[in-house]
Each structure stands twice: as structure tokens, then as C-alpha cells.
Amino acid sequence: MLKKERAAWIADKLAELYPDPPIPLAHRDPYTLLVAVLLSAQCTDERVNQVTPALWQLADNPFSMAKVPAAAIEKVIKPCGLSPQKAKAIHALSNILVNEHGGEVPASFEALERLPGVGHKTASVVMAQAFGVPAFPVDTHIHRLAQRWKLTSGKSVAQTEADLKKLFPRERWNALHLQIIYYGREHCPARGCDGTRCLICRHCFPRRKNPVVTLKA
């Protein structure tokens, strides 16, 4: 099976399994999504969803959050890990949104990536999930599975993103990002599948006998 044929089969199978994948991070608007994605760095979505209700009680918009000291934010988000850095970033980006963007989250990769604590992956998630702009955010799940499925060399997250964008139609990027994440969690996790066990791995690589060693993101 050629790479393009394999990619097409995978896309069809994922669409069959997850026809309407929900956004895993609970949020109300672009701002709460932005903060939730920032909190998800090195933290599970489940943990973030447990923490954010208390954070939204403290402040759920940039105008209110800008008035909350970083130390107070840190106390609430501590279970998410890296709380000192994340709290400072949330406080700082809220001020920037108020002072430079009228309190609105900008629908621009460039503007988002200038915000404290917001890298390309976070900006891509916000652009895709808040504004519907085609993007292909690559997290550790996607980076690992793209290697297992031989859709990329996996030399870097940036390379994986570029390779996936070439393989899949632009109009499928946003859904595929979520579909791959859900499939990885349920069927092809880091320890639960070594590249030889799950449905997609078995179908695409029926002769594979040995575990797949993947490069870290």
C-alpha cells in the first residue's frame, strides 16, 4: 500500500469511527479555549477540565483575568503542573488582549503566537477549533501515530505537521486532528499498542512483527 493510499484509508476509517469528534477541552468561547489549551501543556485534557470551572469562577474573560494577580491564578491551576509559568502567561496574555485587541482573541496565527505562553501548536488549536480555520495541530499523540503509520519520518513536530498537511485534504485537517487524538487514546496508546496490535496498524502493516520505535516530539 502506497503512502497516499494508506493515508486515504486511514482518513476514511477515522471518519467512520469518529464522524463528529467533539472538542475535548471544555470551553465557552475563544478566550476560555485559549486558556484551556495553554493549561493542557504537559497535562491531560481531563485534568484541565477538572480545573477550569474553578478558574472561570475566578475570571472567565480577559478583562476580569487581567485584574487577578498571577499568584491567585497559580493557586487555582496548580493541579495542571507548571503553574507558575502558566499563571504568569495567562495574566500577561489577558492584559495584552485587553490593551491591544479590545478584549478579543485575534483570529491570526501571527497575533496568537506573539502572546505569552502561546506557541504554534496552541495557536493552531485555537484557529481550528475556535475560528474554523484549517490547521493541523500536532501533539504527542499525532506525532507518535504518524510515525507508526509511516506518514512521516518524525524528525520533528514541524516536519510531521508539514507531512500530514501534504497527505490529507485541507478541508479534512481540523477533523483529522481530533480523530487521530481520539483513536490514539482509545486504540493506539503509547503502551497499549506497539505498532502491531490495533486495527489501523494491523491493516496497514500486516507483515509488521516488531514494535515500532518512535521519535519523541
- Predicted confidence (pLDDT) per residue in 166-197, tens digit: 999 999 999 999 999 999 999 999 888 999 99
Write the CATH number for 8: 1.10.1670.10
Catalytic residues: 121, 139
Distance CA 39, CA 209 (A): 38
Distance CA 100, CA 106 (A): 10
**Burial class of residue 90 in the structure, from the number of CB atoms within 10 Å of its CB (0-12 exposed, 13-18 middle, 19+ buried):** buried
* Same domain, yes or no: 87 and 110: yes
85 is a domain residue: yes
pTM for the whole thing? Answer: 0.94
Mean pLDDT of the chain: 96
Asked whether residue 152 carries a pLDDT value surpassing 90, the answer given is yes
∠ CA 134-89-112, rounded to 5°: 25
Distance CA 62, CA 32 (A): 9
* Same domain, yes or no: 126 and 159: no
Among 131, 162, 180, give the residue marking a domain's end: 131
Number of domain units in the chain: 2
Dihedral pair phi/psi, residue 173, rounded to 5°: -55, -50
* Same domain, yes or no: 17 and 102: no
Q: Which domain holds residue 88?
A: 30-131
Write the CATH number for 70: 1.10.340.30
